[in-house]
A and B are shown apart, each in its own frame.
Chain A
Amino acid sequence: MITLLLILFPLVASLLLFFVKGQQVKNIALGAAIIEFAIAIFALSQFKQDASMQFVWNSAWVQSMGITFHVGIDGISMLLVLLTTFLVPVIILTSFKNEHKNPSAFYALILFMQMALIGVFVSLDGFLFYVFWELALLPIYFICLLWGGEDRARITFKFFVYTLAGSLFMLGGLIYLYLHTPGTHSFNIDAIYAAGRGMDVVHQGYVFWAMFIAFAIKMPIFPFHTWQPDTYTTAPTQGTMLLSGIMLKMGTFGLVRWLLPIAPLGVEHYANIAIGLAVIGIVYASCIAIVQKDFKRLIAYSSIAHVGLIAAGILSMNVQGVQGGMIQMLSHGVNVVGLFFIVDIIQRRTNTREIQSLGGIRNVNPQFAVLFLFILLGSVALPLTNGFVGEFLLLNGLFQHNAWIAAFAGLSVILGAVYMLRSYQSIMLGETNSITSSFAPLEKSEKVVLLIICAAVIAFGVFPKPLLDISGPAVDQLVQGVQAALGK
Chain B
Amino acid sequence: MYPIVLLGLITTFVLNIFDWDTNKLYFKMVQFDNYAVAFTAVIIVIAFLWFIMAEGFFKEESNQTDYFALVLFSLVGAVIMVSYSNMAMLFLGIEILSIPMYILAGSNKTDISSNEAAFKYLIMGAFATGFLLFGIALIYGATGSFDLSGIAAAVTNGRAISSIFYVGVLLMLVGMAFKVSAAPFHFWAPDVYQGAPTVITAFMATIVKTAAFAAFLRLFSATFMSVSGTWMHVVWIMAALTLLVGNITAVMQSSTKRMLAYSSVAHAGYMLLALLAGNSYSNNAILFYAAAYSVGSIATFSIVNMITKSKGTDTVDSFNGLGKSNPLLAVVMTIALLSLAGIPPTAGFFAKYYIFTSAFVAGNVALVLIAIIASLIGVYYYFRIIIAMFFKHSSDETIAVESNHKLLLIVIAIAIIALGLMPDCIISLL
State whether the Cβ of B297 lies closer than 8 Å to any Cβ in chain A.
no
Q: With a CB–CB cut-off of 8 A, which chain B residues contact A142?
A: 390
Question: Which A120-144 residues have a C-beta within 8 angstroms of B?
Answer: 130-131, 134-135, 137-138, 142
Q: Which of B354, B368, B376, B428 contacts A172 (CB 8 A)?
A: B368
Interface contact B387-A175, CB-CB below 8 Å: no
Question: Which B392-425 residues have a C-beta within 8 angstroms of A?
Answer: 422-424
Q: Which of A152, A168, A169 contacts B391 (CB 8 A)?
A: A152
Q: Which of A130, A160, A169, A175 contacts B383 (CB 8 A)?
A: A160
Interface contact B390-A145, CB-CB below 8 Å: yes
Q: With a CB–CB cut-off of 8 A, which chain A residues contact B344?
A: 130-131, 134-135
Interface contact A161-B379, CB-CB below 8 Å: yes
Assuming A63-B424, A131-B345, is B376 touching A165 (CB within 8 A)? yes
Interface contact A135-B427, CB-CB below 8 Å: no
State whether the Cβ of B15 lies closer than 8 Å to any Cβ in chain A.
no
Question: Known pairs A64-B424, A161-B379. 8 more at Cβ < 8 A?
Answer: A62-B424, A130-B344, A164-B376, A168-B372, A168-B375, A169-B372, A171-B353, A175-B353
Once bound together, how far apart are the Cα atoms of A63 and B423, in whole Å?
10
Question: Which B354-371 residues have a C-beta within 8 angstroms of A?
Answer: 354, 356-357, 360-361, 368-369
State whether the Cβ of A146 lies closer than 8 Å to any Cβ in chain B.
yes
DSSP class of A's interface residues: helix, strand, loop or mixed? helix
Interface contact B376-A62, CB-CB below 8 Å: no
Once bound together, how far apart are the Cα atoms of A176 and B361, in whole Å?
9
Q: With a CB–CB cut-off of 8 A, which chain A residues contact B422?
A: 62
Q: With a CB–CB cut-off of 8 A, which chain A residues contact B338?
A: 138
Q: With a CB–CB cut-off of 8 A, which chain A residues contact B375?
A: 168
Once bound together, how far apart are the Cα atoms of A164 and B422, in whole Å?
23
Q: With a CB–CB cut-off of 8 A, which chain B residues contact A179?
A: 357, 360-361
User: Smallest CB–CB gap between A20 and chain B, Å?
Assistant: 15
Q: With a CB–CB cut-off of 8 A, which chain B residues contact A145?
A: 387, 390-391
Interface contact A168-B361, CB-CB below 8 Å: no
Q: With a CB–CB cut-off of 8 A, which chain A residues contact B126?
A: none
Interface contact B427-A134, CB-CB below 8 Å: no
State whether the Cβ of A284 lies closer than 8 Å to any Cβ in chain B.
no
User: Smallest CB–CB gap between B427 and chain A, Å?
Assistant: 6
Once bound together, how far apart are the Cα atoms of A160 and B375, in whole Å?
13
Interface contact B379-A160, CB-CB below 8 Å: yes
User: Smallest CB–CB gap between A59 and chain B, Å?
Assistant: 12
23 interchain pairs, CB-CB under 8 A: A62-B424, A62-B427, A63-B424, A63-B428, A64-B424, A65-B354, A65-B427, A131-B344, A131-B349, A134-B344, A135-B345, A142-B390, A145-B390, A145-B391, A160-B379, A168-B375, A171-B356, A172-B356, A172-B372, A175-B356, A175-B357, A175-B360, A179-B357
State whether the Cβ of B343 lies closer than 8 Å to any Cβ in chain A.
yes
State whether the Cβ of B380 lies closer than 8 Å to any Cβ in chain A.
yes
State whether the Cβ of A157 lies closer than 8 Å to any Cβ in chain B.
yes
Q: Which residue of the partner chain A has the closest CB to B428?
A: A64
Once bound together, how far apart are the Cα atoms of A145 and B385, in whole Å?
13
Assuming A62-B424, A63-B424, A171-B356, is B343 touching A161 (CB within 8 A)? no
Interface contact A161-B376, CB-CB below 8 Å: yes
Assuming A157-B383, A160-B379, A160-B383, is B391 touching A64 (CB within 8 A)? no
Interface centre among A63, A169, A171, A179 (most CB of B within 10 A): A171
Interface contact B391-A164, CB-CB below 8 Å: no
Once bound together, how far apart are the Cα atoms of A390 and B186, in whole Å?
58
User: Smallest CB–CB gap between B340 and chain A, Å?
Assistant: 14
Q: With a CB–CB cut-off of 8 A, which chain A residues contact B368?
A: 172
Once bound together, how far apart are the Cα atoms of A307 and B344, in whole Å?
27
DSSP class of B's interface residues: helix, strand, loop or mixed? helix
Interface size on B, residues (CB 8 A): 27
State whether the Cβ of A448 lies closer than 8 Å to any Cβ in chain B.
no
State whether the Cβ of A452 lies closer than 8 Å to any Cβ in chain B.
no
Q: With a CB–CB cut-off of 8 A, which chain B residues contact A61?
A: 424
Q: With a CB–CB cut-off of 8 A, which chain A residues contact B353?
A: 171, 175
Once bound together, how far apart are the Cα atoms of A146 and B379, in whole Å?
18
Once bound together, how far apart are the Cα atoms of A64 and B358, in whole Å?
13
Once bound together, how far apart are the Cα atoms of A42 and B390, in whole Å?
39
Assuming A62-B427, A175-B356, is B376 touching A153 (CB within 8 A)? no
Once bound together, how far apart are the Cα atoms of A134 and B353, in whole Å?
13
Assuming A145-B391, A153-B391, A157-B387, is B376 touching A168 (CB within 8 A)? yes
Q: With a CB–CB cut-off of 8 A, which chain B residues contact A138?
A: 338, 343
Interface centre among A65, A142, A165, A169 (most CB of B within 10 A): A65
Q: Which residue of the partner chain A has the closest CB to B343?
A: A134
Once bound together, how far apart are the Cα atoms of A138 and B372, in whole Å?
19
Once bound together, how far apart are the Cα atoms of A164 and B345, in whole Å?
14
Q: Which residue of the partner chain A has the closest CB to B359?
A: A175
User: Smallest CB–CB gap between B281 and chain A, Å?
Assistant: 9
Interface centre among B344, B349, B376, B424 (most CB of A within 10 A): B344
Q: Which residue of the partner chain B has the closest CB to A146?
A: B390
Question: Which A357-403 residues have a C-beta within 8 angstroms of B?
Answer: none
Q: Which residue of the partner chain B has the closest CB to A176?
A: B360
Question: Which A36-62 residues have a C-beta within 8 angstroms of B?
Answer: 61-62
Interface contact B423-A62, CB-CB below 8 Å: yes
User: Smallest CB–CB gap between B417 and chain A, Å?
Assistant: 11
Once bound together, how far apart are the Cα atoms of A64 and B354, in whole Å?
11
Q: Which residue of the partner chain B has the closest CB to A138?
A: B343
User: Smallest CB–CB gap between B317 and chain A, Å?
Assistant: 14
Q: With a CB–CB cut-off of 8 A, which chain A residues contact B361?
A: 179
User: Smallest CB–CB gap between B216 and chain A, Å?
Assistant: 24
Q: With a CB–CB cut-off of 8 A, which chain B residues contact A175?
A: 353, 356-357, 360
Q: Mark B279-320, 1 if CB is under 8 A from A, else 0.
A: 000000000000000000000000000000000000000000
User: Smallest CB–CB gap between B333 and chain A, Å?
Assistant: 14
Q: With a CB–CB cut-off of 8 A, which chain B residues contact A65?
A: 354, 357, 427
Once bound together, how far apart are the Cα atoms of A331 and B353, in whole Å?
36
Q: With a CB–CB cut-off of 8 A, which chain B residues contact A160?
A: 379, 383
Closest A-B pairs by Cβ, 4 of them: A134-B344, A64-B428, A131-B344, A168-B372
Once bound together, how far apart are the Cα atoms of A137 and B338, in whole Å?
12
Q: With a CB–CB cut-off of 8 A, which chain A residues contact B424?
A: 61-64
Q: Which residue of the partner chain B has the closest CB to A134?
A: B344
Question: Which A331-354 residues have a C-beta within 8 angstroms of B?
Answer: none
Q: With a CB–CB cut-off of 8 A, which chain A residues contact B387?
A: 145, 153, 157
Q: Which of B354, B356, B379, B390 contacts A164 (CB 8 A)?
A: B379
Interface centre among A63, A137, A164 (most CB of B within 10 A): A164
Once bound together, how far apart are the Cα atoms of A178 and B353, in whole Å?
12
Question: Which A236-293 residues have a C-beta within 8 angstroms of B?
Answer: none
Interface centre among B361, B375, B391 (most CB of A within 10 A): B391
Q: Which residue of the partner chain B has the closest CB to A69?
A: B421
User: Smallest CB–CB gap between A94 and chain B, Å?
Assistant: 24
User: Smallest CB–CB gap between B295 and chain A, Å?
Assistant: 18
User: Smallest CB–CB gap between A210 and chain B, Å?
Assistant: 11
Q: Mark A63-91, 1 if CB is under 8 A from B, else 0.
A: 11100000000000000000000000000
User: Smallest CB–CB gap between A258 and chain B, Å?
Assistant: 17
Once bound together, how far apart are the Cα atoms of A381 and B139, in whole Å?
77
